[in-house]
Amino acid sequence: MDQQTTRLSLPSEPRTFGFHVDGRDVPAGEREVFVRHSPAHDVPVTRTVACTPADVDDAVAAARAAFDDRRWAGLGGADRAAVLLRAAALLRERVDEIAYWETLENGKPIAQARGEVSGCVGMFELAAGLARTLHGDTFNNVGDDALSLVMREPVGVVGVVTPWNFPFLILCERVPYILASGNAVVAKPSEFTSATTLILADILRAAGLPAGVFNVVTGTGPTVGQAMLEHRDVDMVSFTGSTRTGRAVVEASARSNFKKLGLELGGKNPQIVFADADLDDAADGVAFGIAFNSGQCCVSGSRLIVERAVADAFARKVADKLARIRTGDPLDEATQAGAITTEAQNRAILDYIEKGKAEGATLAMGGTAMDLGRGRFIAPTVFTDVTPDMTIARDEIFGPVLTILPFDTLDEAVEMANDTEYGLAASVWSKDIDTAMAVSRRVRAGRFWVNTTLAGGPELPIGGFKASGWGREAGMMGVEEYTQVKSVHIAFGPRQHWID
- Positions annotated as catalytic residues are 264, 298
DSSP-assigned letter for residue 453: -
Among positions 38, 106, 196, 240, the unique one binding ligand NDP when judged by CB under 6 A: 240
Q: Which stretch binds ligand NDP (CB under 6 A): 73-81, 92-100, 124-132, 189-197?
A: 189-197
> How many chain residues bind ligand NDP (CB under 6 A)?
27
User: If binding is defined by CB under 6 A, does position 398 make contact with ligand NDP?
Assistant: yes
Q: Which stretch binds ligand NDP (CB under 6 A): 3-11, 142-150, 187-195, 274-282?
A: 187-195
Among positions 52, 118, 242, 484, the unique one binding ligand NDP when judged by CB under 6 A: 242
Among positions 112, 181, 190, 238, the unique one binding ligand NDP when judged by CB under 6 A: 190
Restricting to residues 198-237, name those near ligand NDP by CB under 6 A: 220-222, 225-226, 229
Question: Binding pattern to ligand NDP, positions 100-139, x when CB under 6 A?
Answer: ----------------------------------------
Q: How far is the CB of 371 from ligand NDP (least distance, A)?
A: 23
Among positions 265, 337, 410, 467, the unique one binding ligand NDP when judged by CB under 6 A: 265
**208 backbone φψ class: left, alpha, beta (φ>0; ψ -120 to 50):** left
Q: How far is the CB of 73 from ligand NDP (least distance, A)?
A: 26
User: If binding is defined by CB under 6 A, does position 261 make contact with ligand NDP?
Assistant: no
Contacts (Cβ under 8 Å, ≥6 apart) of 137: 149, 150
Question: Binding pattern to ligand NDP, positions 282-321, x when CB under 6 A?
Answer: ----------------x-----------------------
Among positions 66, 123, 161, 186, the unique one binding ligand NDP when judged by CB under 6 A: 161
Helices (H) and strands (E) in the chain, counts: 16, 23
- DSSP secondary structure string for all residues of 327-355: BS-TTBTT-SB---S-HHHHHHHHHHHHH
Q: Which parts of 140-259 are beta strand (E)?
A: 146-154, 157-161, 184-188, 214-216, 236-240
DSSP-assigned letter for residue 293: G
User: If binding is defined by CB under 6 A, does position 165 make contact with ligand NDP?
Assistant: yes
User: If binding is defined by CB under 6 A, does position 238 make contact with ligand NDP?
Assistant: no
Given the complex with ligand NDP, which of 190 and 430 has the nearer CB atom?
Answer: 190
Residue type, 303: R
Given the complex with ligand NDP, which of 90 and 425 has the nearer CB atom?
Answer: 425
Q: Which stretch binds ligand NDP (CB under 6 A): 259-267, 356-364, 448-456, 475-483?
A: 259-267
Given the complex with ligand NDP, which of 109 and 221 has the nearer CB atom?
Answer: 221
Residue (of 224, 168, 227) closest to 200 by Cα position: 168
Residue (of 366, 368, 377) closest to 338 by Cα position: 377
Restricting to residues 325-384, name those near ligand NDP by CB under 6 A: 345, 348
Given the complex with ligand NDP, which of 183 and 296 has the nearer CB atom?
Answer: 296
Distance CA 272, CA 450 (A): 10
Distance CA 436, CA 229 (A): 41
- What does residue 401 show for φ and ψ, rounded to 5 degrees? -125, 115
User: If binding is defined by CB under 6 A, does position 264 make contact with ligand NDP?
Assistant: yes
> C-alpha angle 342/346/473, rounded to 5°?
60
Residue (of 361, 268, 272, 359) closest to 308 by Cα position: 272
Q: How far is the CB of 55 from ligand NDP (least distance, A)?
A: 14
- For residue 32, the number of C-alpha atoms closer than 13 Å in the C-beta half-sphere is 11
Distance CA 23, CA 373 (A): 42
- For residue 385, the number of C-alpha atoms closer than 13 Å in the C-beta half-sphere is 10
Given the complex with ligand NDP, which of 212 and 399 has the nearer CB atom?
Answer: 399
What element of type H or E holds 425? Answer: strand 425-429
Residues near ligand NDP (CB under 6 A): 161-165, 190-192, 220-222, 225-226, 229, 240-242, 245, 248, 264-266, 298, 345, 348, 396, 398
